[in-house]
Structure 1
Amino acid sequence: MTGPSADASLVVDFLNTLDVDEDTDVLRQAATWRQWAAERRLAADTLHEARVAREALRAAVGDPDAEAKPLTVSVQIELAADAPALTAPGAVGAVLAAATRLAVLGEWDRVKICPADDCRWAFFDQSRNRSRTWCSMRVCGNRQKARSWRERN
């Protein structure tokens, strides 16, 4: 595997608009949300829609701190270049369309949330057997292994 697809990158970037470690949240203010969307050449939906979508997606990929909420977003199927394409007018729809494509391709289970309580960073598991647990073995994984070792000894 060479790297995450554009769909995986968009979904992970959206999930990481919340940074637990740095205590930052792109979705705290409409201006930062609009900037995030504009940087990706997407139209920003309402801040409320973005927050609900992120919470639902984080819950769907296993964030124990996220609450799954009902979510309905409009997407379209367009016939472009002789092939159907799943599109959406806004950023939230684009993220959910990307998530849907990942699910259809069997890649959705590669989107994960780091289990470290002080991290919760989303990442795309590129391991062959989809067994990666930590966002970074050098940081979160190492801390947990050191903590476990200290508890055992």
Structure 2
Amino acid sequence: MGTDDVRLVLDFLNTVDYEDHVDHLDTDAEWRAWLAERRLAVSDRAHARHVRDAMRAAMGDQGGQATFSVPVEVTLQAGIPTLTGQNAVSNVLAAATRLALQGDWERVKICPAHDCRWAFYDQSRNRSRTWCSMRVCGNREKARAWRERARST
């Protein structure tokens, strides 16, 4: 697992926080601050939102799927082909591609809790983790399901 790749992909997917009602792609200032924190080259904010939403949709989040293309480079570093991006969005997609090639992409998941929707990395051995946090979202959803079952009996 490329921890830098996982961190970058999760950070990008979590530029929207449904629980706190924050979206770092709402304004140019927020987007530039997000980019600066990660030392990434500037990317068009509208395109970044389109790519983020498409990636989240591909992982089962709300919304439909979309297609897009971004420029990436393959360079030889110490004789090894390396996939790199030219801006923030293409760097995120290069990281996601590396995760897919390593067989780790399916470990990147979206919490199914409707009031959370947080992207997380499933580190469980059998890749069966559902909730971003069993203590918070998992517990809340299981308690809700129990109350519904108890109410119906």
Same fold (TM over 0.5): yes
Aligned equivalent of 1:149: 146
- Relative to structure 1, is the Cα distance of residues 113 and 4 closer, same or farther in structure 2, using a 3 angstrom cutoff? farther
Of the candidates 84, 89, 93, which is equivalent to residue 87 of structure 1? 84
**Could you tell me how far 1:67 is from its partner in structure 2?**
2.3
**Could you tell me how far 1:62 is from its partner in structure 2?**
1.3
Q: What is the distance in 1 between the residues matched to 2:149 and 2:86?
A: 53
Aligned equivalent of 1:78: 75
Question: Secondary structure of the residue that 2:25 maps to in structure 1?
Answer: helix
Which consecutive unaligned segments of at least 5 residues does structure 2 have? none
**Could you tell me how far 1:38 is from its partner in structure 2?**
1.5
Instruction: Using structure 2 for the length normalisation, give the TM-score.
Output: 0.94
Opposite residue 77 of structure 2, the aligned amino acid is: A
Instruction: Using structure 1 for the length normalisation, give the TM-score.
Output: 0.94
Could you give the per-residue CA deviations for residues 100-120 of structure 1, whole angstroms, max 9, x where no partner exists?
A: 000001101000000000000
Could you give the per-residue CA deviations for residues 48-92 of structure 1, whole angstroms, max 9, x where no partner exists?
A: 1101110111011111x1321111000000111221110111000
Aligned equivalent of 1:111: 108
Could you give the per-residue CA deviations for residues 2-42 of structure 1, whole angstroms, max 9, x where no partner exists?
A: x8711111101100000000000000011111111111111
- The number of equivalent residue pairs is 150
Aligned equivalent of 1:42: 40
Aligned equivalent of 2:56: 58
Over the matched positions of the two proteins, sequence identity in percent amounts to 59
Aligned equivalent of 1:29: 27
Q: What is the distance in 1 between the residues matched to 2:63 and 2:39?
A: 27
Opposite residue 43 of structure 2, the aligned amino acid is: D
Which consecutive unaligned segments of at least 5 residues does structure 1 have? none
Q: What is the distance in 1 between the residues matched to 2:111 and 2:91?
A: 24
Structure 1 stretches of 4+ moved >2 Å: none
Root-mean-square deviation (CA), in Å? Answer: 1.1
Would the aligned equivalents of 1:78 and 1:84 in 2 still touch at CA under 8 Å?
A: yes
